[in-house]
Every structure is written in C-alpha cells, then in structure tokens.
A = this chain, B = another copy of it.
Amino acid sequence: MQLTPLKCITIVSERFLKKEIIELIKNSGAKGYTITDAVGEGSRGIRASEWEGKNVKIETIVSDEAAESIIKSISNEYFANYAVIVYTNEVKVVRGDKYI
C-alpha cells in the first residue's frame, strides 16, 4: 500500500471565523477539510465557551506548498486580532494524489 507524505494543518479558531478560514484554505489549494467542535482556553485566559460559543478545529491535508500558503495567509489575516492556533504535523496518506 503506497502512502504519500503530506502535511496536516490544524487550525483552532473562534467559531465566527469558520467560513472565512475555509474560503482561505480552499483558495490556498486545499482539496478538502474536516471540522470538529471544540472548546478551549488559550494564552488570553478566557474560555471561548463562556462568552461566545464554541471554537472550531479545522484540519486539512495538503502539500508542503499549500501548507506554507495557508500559514502565511492566516498569519496575515488573523494573528493581529484573533486567538487563532495553527500547527502542522507530518502524515502519510492513502490515495495521497487526491490531496495535491
């Protein structure tokens, strides 16, 4: 079974940014994404769940180039004003050609 090494990018953000971030990652070359509901607490010390609803955790599997583009775009758009978390990890994907 052939596995393709790709990047999984995880983005955790306040829920009202969900649609915008999905547009952004699709424009950066992502072919799909998975969203789960989440709550949390970050360096600002406020539980998102207490004041404006849950967070969302968006995951997308992409090429190195798309990963770099997504990270750059999210940094530029959101990091000044929002508590967005972004990280990548290495994954090996079945049918990896579908993600590029």
Q: How far is the CB of A18 from chain B (nearest CB, A)?
A: 10
Query: A89, B87: Cβ atoms under 8 Å?
Result: no
Q: How far is the CB of A96 from chain B (nearest CB, A)?
A: 8
Residues of B within 8 A of A87 (CB): 3, 6, 8, 61, 91-94
Given contacts A31-B43, A43-B31, A92 and B85 within 8 Å (CB-CB): no
Query: A40, B33: Cβ atoms under 8 Å?
Result: yes
Copies in the assembly, this chain: 3
A72 (CB) vs chain B CBs: closest residue: B1
In the complex, given contacts A32-B41, A36-B57, what are 10 additional A-B residue pairs having Cβ atoms less than 8 angstroms apart? Answer: A1-B72, A3-B88, A8-B87, A32-B40, A32-B42, A33-B41, A34-B38, A34-B39, A34-B55, A37-B37
